[in-house]
Structure 1
Amino acid sequence: MREAAILLTACVVVCLLLGSSQAARQGQDVRCGACRALVDEMEWAISQTDPKKMIQTGSFRINPDGSQSIREVPLARSEGNLLELMESVCESMGDYGERSTDPSTSRKSYIRLKSRTGEAMDLSEATLDSRVTSSLKFACETIVEQHEDEIIEFFAHETDNVKDKLCSKRTDLCDHALLMSHDEL
């Protein structure tokens, strides 16, 4: 009888550990998906800004020699514009849904379900669930809050592989994402 109780207790502990590790993986998948979606949304918003528009940055104080430390930068990648975009970027998480779980990795990924241009989209592999979109939105808001400086730095200066550089290498939100194709979220 005592051996059965020990065996039952061991089974319960193993089940709890497996359940908590699966929950941790799902949480990581959501955070990774939110980061990758955030990058896509920021890149799209930046692309919608006229690349010819410039803004003056720097100090407007006059130096002792009579000069000013002012420089012009593209408006799209200016700190002020990026901060403004970050204020609303997480609202777009409502346009994302969960893609079918990858059978080889058991990882969840996320896909945009609503077209920005109104064209039809293939939604056969995705499901729209309010719990998923609210989880993505919460994860996005947390990422913006915790990594604001990194996000601004990357979008102000980087243009190549921002998803991998920001979400995997800099923040470790996607430790598995370097194995994903670049169009997956």
Structure 2
Amino acid sequence: MEKLLVLVGILVFLSWGNSQTVVNDAKLDNKELKCLVCQASLKELTQEVKKHDQSRTVKIGGHRLDADGNYDAPKTIPAAKSELFLSDTIDAVCNRMDDYVRALWKSNGTLTLINMITSTGGLNPLMGEVDFVQDDDLNKSLKYYCEGIMEEFEEDIIKYFQNEVEDVAQKFCVQESGLCPKKNKPAKSEL
């Protein structure tokens, strides 16, 4: 019986090893990695903003008189467009980078970031299509890059969401920040 259990364990290990491999931290291009982090973090941010209750509103502005003595009543805007909400959400989105790993697509060897956990809480079904990249920092650099991008460009990102710009990740990461080259389009969408 003991030999049977050992044999079954070896077969399970070998079948898993054939479908999933881990490659050592190759000398990856930091610019490409920053681009991928920018795109992933802004997609996460967009999802978080969309999940927010759109019927909630907040009042902005003060109860002041302008230079002519006219009353300046506060404006009511959707809470998801408020600077406070967006700033708090931006601060929290980089914590999600802990769920991401670097990987190379098996089909073409292209670097990608894979979210290990889907929005429903299950494992990402695309994990079998990639080889994970093992790195020395346990992917902490993903969160570090995210925090750097969000800190440097927070005001610009807030304006994009307040103005309801479509495809924020593409427009911001390519056009505004220049973190991604103009020709960069992900091979597959993993979000």
Query: Could you give the per-residue CA deviations for residues 127-167 of structure 1, whole angstroms, max 9, x where no partner exists?
Result: 27563621111110110111111111112113411111000
Matched, 1:68 2:94: no
The root-mean-square deviation of aligned C-alpha atoms, in Å, is 2.6
Query: Do the aligned residues in 2 keep the contact of 1:32 with 1:173 (CA within 8 Å)?
Result: yes
Q: Give the corresponding residue for 1:56.
A: 59
Between stretches 117-126 and 161-170, larger displacement belongs to 117-126
Query: Could you give the per-residue CA deviations for residues 49-93 of structure 1, whole angstroms, max 9, x where no partner exists?
Result: 110001111233123444214211110121110001111111110
1:179 alignment partner, SS class: coil
Aligned match of 1:144 in 146, 150, 154? 150
TM (norm. structure 1) is: 0.75
- The 3 A distance-change label for structure 1 pair 182 and 31 is same
Between stretches 165-174 and 56-65, larger displacement belongs to 56-65
CA shift for structure 1 position 31: 0.5
The 5 A counterparts of 1:15-26 are 26=29
Query: Do the aligned residues in 1 keep the contact of 2:59 with 2:76 (CA within 8 Å)?
Result: yes
Amino acid at match of 1:171: S
Q: How high is the sequence identity, in percent, across the aligned residues?
A: 25
Aligned match of 1:169 in 170, 175, 178? 175
Unaligned runs of 5+ in 1: 1-21
Q: Report the Cα distance in structure 1 between the residues aligned to 2:134 and 2:117, rounded to whole angstroms.
A: 13
Matched, 1:133 2:136: no
Between stretches 122-131 and 107-116, larger displacement belongs to 122-131
Amino acid at match of 1:108: L
- The 3 A distance-change label for structure 1 pair 100 and 176 is farther
Aligned match of 2:98 in 94, 103, 106? 94
The 5 A counterparts of 1:30-41 are 30-41=33-44
Unaligned runs of 5+ in 2: 1-25
- Aligned residue pairs total 162
Q: Following TM superposition, where does structure 1 have runs of at least 4 consecutive aligned residues deviating by more than 6 angstroms?
A: none
Which structure has the highest helix share of the two?
A: 1
Q: Report the Cα distance in structure 1 between the residues aligned to 2:104 and 2:129, rounded to whole angstroms.
A: 6
Aligned match of 2:163 in 154, 157, 163? 157
Between stretches 117-126 and 154-163, larger displacement belongs to 117-126
Aligned match of 1:115 in 99, 115, 118? 118
